[in-house]
Structure 1
Amino acid sequence: MPPTFTHLARLLLAGLLVVLTAGAAAAAADTPAAGTTDKPGFVYRLTITDRIRISVFQEEDLADIVRIDAQGNVKLKLAGDVKVAGLTASEAQRAIEQAYRDGRYLRNPQVTIAIEDYAPREVSIQGQVKAPGRFLLPIESTFSVVELVTKAGGLTDIAKGSAVVVTRITPDGRKQTFTVNVDSVIRGKKGNDTDASDLLLEPGDIVYVPERII
């Protein structure tokens, strides 16, 4: 007997529900954990001295509030030290889950992280700007070198804006330096292949604006 219209409609509806359910599951997997500052266009990465709340589903004894130490680690109950500095909240959750699995403490841990207190998000700018000093970075948005120069009153008349140097110490103690051509950014173009004009500042960065040789 050929299928009736009602039967076909039911089959189509069932197929649509399967597609919608799969899409919802995928969206949920990409949704940031509660208590994080993950937003479209900006992803917050944990840093040294952030204080975070760690919860493990159905394991109340493992719940804890810990501060990220100078090495970028948190000390977990049972599992010990796990490096989380430089990770997003969701990446840190997976790292902690892996630590519990590797130590055979839990078979299928489900970890949730929420940020209780943020580390001081300061950067400093020195050299040829009109108001050198220390400035706070916004917590929930990005901040560029050009924006910092502007906040510091702009370049002086003798500043070499094409060779602004950013010094950064990574969570594992490595020193990195970047050169930013602020002049080219202001003109709306990238200087050259080595120009880090799109560099976004991180807590602890030191920005130095050299003097132009006349």
Structure 2
Amino acid sequence: MNTSAEGTKSEAARIRRGRRGGRYLCAFMILLMGWGMTGCRSTPQFGHGEPGKSTDVVRLRPGLMISMSVLVAGQKEIEEPSKRVSDGGTIVLPLLGEIEVADMTLDELQGKLTTRYKRYFVRPQIILDYVRDTKEGISPWGFVTVLGRVKEPGRVPIPATRDMTVSGAIQRAGGLAPSARPNAILVSRSMSDGSIESRTVNLHSVGAEGRLEEDIILEANDVVFVPEALF
């Protein structure tokens, strides 16, 4: 009886050890798979960055247009709907005169103006924003260039959402010309190492087949070229 009981206990212990070993093996495999999916993940493909996620800080420079309002106790005391940064990097504001703004962010300028306007108002609230898509000013987020068989070739400003796609840029350039070839649009991008990467986009598949991933998100200084159809 004792021998049988000891054998049963020994067998149970081996089963428990086997189960623990199985759990450890499973945990190791999960960890290994997780490392493989994260540590070996490839970089995002060309044109598939997240819109509006750029880490670049926009700084004021000549040509940019901004709006400025001063609120005191919830009431608007001063409103400047559009102020262009001069070639010398300044803007002219009521009560303050000419202010140096070149190479400043909007947050930095907000702090500077708050201090200055405290001479005239109690607890002033300064509201600043960029004036977008103006013909006179420069887009804070840069431009893409659309060339080839479009109705209005030239530079297209990137919107604040930074989600400009190939089709969106072409629409802003007046749309495709009748002789355009929409299934072979070339997108070129200058890389940080000085090289140029290119990709062909088939807008026909975007519209006809719903392949929205083909309609890639553009970045500042990208060039979109629409070739002529071969009849």
What range is the shorter-chain TM-score in? Answer: 0.3 to 0.5
Normalization by structure 1: what TM-score?
0.44
- Give the number of the structure whose alpha-carbon radius of gyration is greater: 2
